[in-house]
Chains A and B, each alone.
Chain A
Amino acid sequence: MAFIPHTDADVRDMLQAIGVDSIDQLFDEIPQALRVDGLKGVPEAVGEMEITRIMHKRAARDGEPLTFIGAGAYEHHIPAAVWEIATRGEFYSAYTPYQAEASQGTLQLIYEFQTMMASLTGLDVSNASMYDGASALGEAALMAVRANRKSRSGKILMPRTLHPLYRKVAKAVAGNQGLEFIEVDYDHANGTLDLKALEAYADEDLTALVIPQPNFLGRFEDVDALTDWAHARDAQVIAVVNPTSLALIKPPGEWGEKGADIACGEGQPLGVPMSSGGPFFGFMTCRQSWVRQMPGRIVGRTTDLDGRTGYTLTLQAREQHIRRSKATSNICTNQGLMVTGATIYMSLLGAEGLAGVATACMNNTARVVEVMSSVDGVEVAFAGGQFHEAVLKLDCPVAPVLERLAAEDIAGGLDLSAEYPELGNALLVCATETKSEDDIVRFGKAMADAVAAVAGEKR
């Protein structure tokens, strides 16, 4: 029997000890009329060899394309040690560290993770992670409502330069509690939030302003001015940041005069594979003064009966298993295993290694922009710097171009035409440090062919 160790003799002895004749008798409290006779719609069992064959075939069918999409999930080199260690059974098959004495490994690791994330974002404290970057933003909005006692409106300003999927998730996660998410337009000529567009809300009671850096279009926002604008109106600042970029660019804690209040984002770039979008992990950090409003698990350092240093879950009075309906969130788990991988990744890379990755990403994207700007029918949407994404404008529809590139085994970017119609036939492309000069040149040639073919069809 798959994964069940019982011998016939075991079963006999156990039934005898219980005092029943059959295993079926143990289900006698379930009303007979409700019982089903097996699950015919589930296929017959397969052995490990056969499932290996099935899964290899499917994985091979999906292949390993040349990927130039970012948009919230990034292909980075992951050092071999990361998942070798993270999938050790002692990490992989442990549970929530409620019994602290039996979970010091996981707890100390989370304390190290909290230290790294707080420092990376330039804020005081971090939690042990959320589900993903988008849901972390929803939770950050709810947290801002709790923390900002000067505001009663529950109004959260979200620029359209924030990831469209993040905007949708924030509304789905937090919208049922009376929050109002207001989308603010951006400067279509340069791809960043315009302070003038914010002025329409200058006299309103605002709970928070969300500032993405770099933004969804790969551009750098004027974070200092935006932060000061929000603080001048007693609105909190929620930073949505890419952790790789923080090796190079100013962390949220240093934005403007006072710094952002809460930072959150997608932790996937820190050693987690793209894997069709999950499991990833969201991170969340904040100033010390808001720590009791933060959702999710938090680990603290303390001492044991003998005075030795040890680690334990703390401030649990915020959480659902203690506070039930009065908890800061219904979140129960963190993304423990992903945090394990990320902590190992950040340890291996260090600040210099992470800066190495970040600079290679910036320069590779700049190179893509350079190559694409000489392709007929392609122009670059915004002049000036970008992190590892850039917007291209095509003189033909994007979807058929992406289809042609897919046929060449190239994931050629994300079609923006539905979410950003004002940009026309816009395509968001990304090149991380994993792309070589040959890869970028191949992408350029394939793009030229695809655009020419699609434009030709149109004529």
Chain B
Amino acid sequence: MTEKLIFESSREGRRATAQAPLRQTVDLPDHLRRNTPPLLPQVSELQTVRHFTRLSQMNFSIDTQVYPLGSCTMKYNPRACNTLAMLPGFLARHPLSHVSMGQGFLQTMHELQDMLKEVTGMKGVSLTPMAGAQGEFAGVAMIKAYHDARGDSHRNEILVPDAAHGTNPATAVMCGCKVVEIPTDDQGDVDLDELRKAVGPNTAGIMLTNPSTLGVFERHIEEVRGIVHDAGGLLYYDGANLNAILGKVRPGDMGFDVIHMNLHKTFSTPHGGGGPGSGAVGVGERLLPYMPIPVVGKDGDTYRWLDEKDIPGTIGRLSAFMGNAGVLLRAYIYMRMLGRDGMSRVSEYATLNANYVMVRLRDAGFDLAFPRRRASHEFIVSLKRQSRDLGVSAMDFAKSLLDYGFHAPTTYFPLLVPECLLIEPTETEAKEDLDGFVEAMIAILDESARDPEKVKGAPYTTPVRRLDDVKAARQLDLVFNPASVDA
């Protein structure tokens, strides 16, 4: 199944006339005018609707397939969250309109801040970061601002465990810091001896993901906290894996100074084909003066924006307005529908599903990266042995799963484990669907022994087969050129 580019359906003079006003005459000097029209297609409404509907059908999605993509928490996105966030009263609100015209929205945001404080055990929450990576940026920028305010500007080293997401070191650099990598021990915990050696007078802080990207809970969390705080550094909790601990432990109680939450993971806002995300941050007492603005405050019965006047030490604004407001509405609606007991159930059933799939795969002959550990909400299978014995790689397994109707787990991340699949089923998958995934993995394992070439050629049933990435990078073709079709 392929679909022509929409530009190839374009015909001079065709228009969806009901959708836009006709061109009017305007008073515009010649030197400002555009001479050639932009390359936008000239198509009808039906052609547009059909084209994009067909494109949508070429995607895997949570609504159509099991999507056990590790570290991404691909849980069901309740429909009510979308329907209610798109009520006209919310969509029509201009971000700079008078606060008297936005009390319904602001109340909702204020309550969301309060719920997130409770979930994380933090003292303050700012909702403005527009994605996890921007939440990380806010966190590290606040740590930097804290040290600067104390005259400790030399503290510019951020410690990052080697298992971390790539965004962690990239964020530290964006904040003007240096990255010091900390190794992981053979059980998946931070190597405490190495951590002790790494801290010092230049330590700004540590960025820790817990449970880590290795799918295990950092058991020495209290020691880590002690070592870093004693050295004068602050602790940053990367909340990428908050789904695993919701209602069980709180980063604030563990002594962390700042956390970002991926609302598009834990609180089920849509991934949207790669965004928008939302990376709200929670802070402890020490970082309250530096929170990114705006934050929603309350005077008596009236909600209002807090800005530079209220938080003079702020690290500033990360977006023109207040971040991904519509995403925040969806997270609020989801959290209200879960309620306090539903929150704890999220981590319980996510963990149950992960451990169940892990045990079933182990029993079917797959190697676990950390066989002596519990899975958190996700776990790692290593196909190093199969790769060596059968010549079939983790990527081959991933592509083959697509033919069985399952989205692939995360492959080749974390980088520490060779030939790895990071598998995260989430709590919203039913047992029979998990069993289906396990059966597919077993079938691919069998096939790898019988006919490895077939597995290496997968997928066969998708709209295209494996793509030539080298050609894509060497012969860059990033925009359509109509002349290439006419020729």
Contact = CB atoms under 8 A, between A and B. Distances in A.
Contacts of A26: 348, 351-352, 355, 374-375
A130 to B, nearest CB: 9
A11 to B, nearest CB: 7
Interface in B410-443: 413, 427-431
A105 B58 contact: yes
A35 interface: yes
Interface stretch (B281-289, B382-390, B458-466): B458-466
Contacts of B431: 5-6, 10, 13-14
B219 to A, nearest CB: 6
A323 B459 contact: no
Given A59-B89, A64-B92, A102 B271 contact: no
Contacts of A459: none
B398 interface: yes
Contacts of B117: 41
A242 interface: no
Interface stretch (A151-159, A302-310, A371-379): A302-310
Contact of A366 (B6, B27, B270): B27
B244 to A, nearest CB: 9
Given A34-B221, A325-B179, A249 B33 contact: yes
Nearest to B50: A85
Contacts of A304: 464-468
Interface in B167-200: 167, 169-176, 179
A124 B477 CA distance: 11
A275 B91 contact: yes
Given A44-B339, A105-B57, A359 B90 contact: no
- Chain A interface size band reads 35 or more
A3 B316 contact: no
A168 B360 CA distance: 53
A382 B325 CA distance: 34
Nearest to B323: A278
A135 interface: yes
Contacts of B329: 55
A125 B479 CA distance: 7
Contacts of B169: 320, 324-325
A332 B131 contact: yes
Interface SS, B side: loop
Nearest to B220: A31
Given A31-B221, A59-B87, A176-B144, A348 B340 contact: no
Interface in A150-186: 163, 165-166, 168-169, 171-173, 175-178
B340 A310 contact: no
B38 A31 contact: no
Interface in A1-60: 1-6, 10-11, 13-15, 17-20, 23-24, 26-31, 34-36, 38-48, 51-52, 54-60
A407 B100 CA distance: 8
B174 A329 contact: yes
A42 B320 contact: no
A109 B343 contact: no
Interface in A84-100: 84-97, 99-100
Contact of A356 (B21, B103, B464): B21
Contact of A300 (B5, B342, B477): B477
A362 B60 CA distance: 42
A325 B320 contact: no
Given A67-B94, A300-B472, A61 B89 contact: yes
Nearest to B321: A277
Given A101-B464, A385-B29, A23 B351 contact: yes
Interface in B14-38: 15-16, 19-29, 31-35, 37-38
B208 interface: no
A347 B43 contact: yes
Contact of B352 (A14, A69, A354): A14
B337 A51 contact: yes
A446 interface: no
A411 interface: yes
A58 B67 contact: no
B202 interface: no
B366 interface: no
Contact of A172 (B41, B57, B115, B315): B315
A454 interface: no
B201 interface: no
Interface string B64-94: 1001010010111110101011111111111
B429 A333 contact: no
B299 interface: no
Contacts of A99: 60, 398-399, 402, 407-408
A73 interface: yes
A131 B134 contact: yes
A204 to B, nearest CB: 23
Given A275-B93, A362-B26, A250 B57 contact: no
A338 B106 CA distance: 23
Contacts of B302: none
A148 interface: no
Contacts of A11: 352
A93 B28 contact: no
A242 to B, nearest CB: 13
Contacts of A330: 133, 136-137, 167, 170-171, 173-174
A360 B24 contact: yes
B271 A55 contact: no
Nearest to A132: B319
B277 interface: yes
Contacts of A355: 23, 37
Contacts of A28: 374
Contact of A310 (B85, B166, B341, B464): B464
A62 interface: yes
Contacts of B104: 57-62
Contact of B38 (A30, A134, A172, A251): A251
Interface string B336-350: 111111111110110
Contacts of B49: 81, 84-85
B467 A350 contact: no
B40 A93 contact: no
Contacts of A85: 49, 52-53, 56
Contacts of A55: 84-85, 87, 108, 329, 333
A335 B319 CA distance: 13
16 contacts: A18-B355, A36-B250, A39-B343, A40-B340, A59-B84, A60-B104, A63-B92, A64-B92, A81-B45, A85-B53, A118-B479, A277-B321, A309-B2, A311-B467, A314-B478, A411-B101
Given A18-B359, A79-B20, A176-B174, 20 more contacts: A5-B428, A29-B373, A45-B342, A72-B96, A79-B19, A94-B60, A104-B463, A172-B315, A172-B318, A220-B32, A278-B321, A291-B478, A299-B478, A300-B472, A320-B133, A330-B133, A348-B48, A353-B19, A355-B37, A359-B23
